[in-house]
Structure 1
């Protein structure tokens, strides 16, 4: 079977054309999915890869696919380009990727196009019109956090903004959203804005330095697993814990509950940035390999809508649902099989 049949018209999808070209169904033995992960080493990325593998294993057990190839590039864009190029040379059926950049992978995505291999970017969108992106709306996601901080502070206070990796598309989008929201509140002053590299220990060290330089911090816009590190920095400095946001990770939620039990009245808000969004990419990839045709998607992007959030009102209930999970676990959600099917004609 000619893989070029898979995405006849992929470039046109971004312009609002009819959608992905159909293909004759592939035999399961021929279906090999590639997964190129950029940054790794965080618990979020570990759960993301594990989720992709679990989703793939389900399809393999159903006789729909044969092999998942996972490559970990780190934050090195050139290494990720090489990893994707190797997958093209291996002749995989579909390439999925958590990209290090929204634009720097254009050349190798175009190489996949010339080889007729579908490309699906997940977690973070890419701008190349050939690739389908499956992601949360990171601007909307971060806007919810910044709005909550500003409103909880009644529109007044000194805040800090901690984002992930400089230049990373998701981190920079969230950073922009936070600054845009806080700019709408004249009484909010951003006294520091920087990066914690999506790493709990690094975030704790960075925030310890910030705390030493800033005598007043009323609010903290924090994303992903860095929340626990920021919380620990304030605890170690014996400073009042600011109004803060964080990822809905079990370890952070447990620390929040402990603070409340100790009478500190800690105010926090958490929502998932689900690592298991990788399951959505694998689900779409296997369907493409089977010859299914994707419906046209605005901006060639499938936005996963976040449904869950954690507040003080449902903190105990959320933790009860995580009782059998390790402390590193992130609250997860993803498309059902029926929802994935609904993306296709």
Structure 2
């Protein structure tokens, strides 16, 4: 759709307003729309696009949300090439399987920025997070908090995505440094509270006592917390150390538990990257130069700054918004 709110899990293409040299059309091809993080990311892209359109900086914008399949995203990007958009921001279904159609877009003169779940096509710009670095740091914090010994439940993210692989591999590296930490089960939570809660509820009765849970964010943290609350027993008064992924519902849960001495840490990628991807795409169309790989900051909540986030609205992921000026200074300014 053009200039309208995104439709969950569907791809709808309308003819965008005609682009000119001064007023391009910028598109978003988002492979997955099934969790809070992706909803917020799309909202951030659209808010920036609306601002740019109101200011006369673009002719229009297109937002396409997929069903998590490579086939649909390939089809959507191919359609955007035919429509003649000027730039495509891609949250990719696969790091490699969409490279062919991205190369076709580049060959057609379209600027392509893959972000969050990036594609590895050499022609595209990557706007990424240091998934491996921050997830290793977060896992190590948890393991040290356990005293280097305990049973861990591992909750993976969006199956098949580059972030899931990077975060899982980072946790595996950290685990090798703590041989007395044992992973007793691994489930997929799809970075979604309800899916994570259900997956854990299904395996928890058969598991030994869980001392900590490694998650991946996107609201899985609150689903994990709810699963243990629902299970009750020893977990009622002493839940495991749950890696926070930045959901405000989890932070509120953490605040309540901290009254009894509960402590953890939360680190998350910021869905505001959708806005940054928009402004970066526009800048590239306008002729700006940028590095092929750019790294975005992550948001960190600790016991020390927990109260600063306690009053945020429910149902959100902790994230700043990223302006056109921020992109110019922090992305284009670092070559």
Q: TM-score range by the shorter chain?
A: 0.7 to 0.9
* CA-CA distance at 1:334 after TM superposition: 4.9
* CA-CA distance at 1:335 after TM superposition: 4.3
Corresponding position: 1:243 with 2:250: no
Counterpart in the other structure of 1:309:
300
Counterpart in the other structure of 2:22:
27
Counterpart in the other structure of 1:234:
228
* CA-CA distance at 1:305 after TM superposition: 2.3
Structure 1 gap segments, 5+ residues each: 1-24
Corresponding position: 1:181 with 2:174: yes
Kept after mapping to 1: 8 A contact 2:224/2:242: no
Bigger RCO (CA 8 Å, 6+ sep):
1
Corresponding position: 1:268 with 2:264: yes
CA-to-partner distance for each residue in 1:280-337, whole Å, 9 max, x for gaps? 1101111122222x13x2xx2101122x3111222112224x2xx3x11111135443
Paired residue total: 308
**TM alignment of 1:31-46, pairs within 5 A:** 31-46=24-39
Counterpart in the other structure of 1:56:
49
Kept after mapping to 1: 8 A contact 2:255/2:310: no
Corresponding position: 1:328 with 2:320: no
Indicate the SS of the match to 1:27. Answer: coil
Counterpart in the other structure of 1:18:
none
Kept after mapping to 1: 8 A contact 2:270/2:318: yes
Greater Cα offset, 233-242 or 47-56: 233-242
Q: C-alpha distance in 1, partners of 2:171/2:191?
A: 16
Q: 1:338 to 1:27 in 2, by over 3 A?
A: closer
Runs of 4+ in structure 1 deviating by more than 4 angstroms, as ranges, are none
Structure 2 gap segments, 5+ residues each: 1-19
Counterpart in the other structure of 1:92:
85
TM-score, scaled relative to structure 1: 0.85
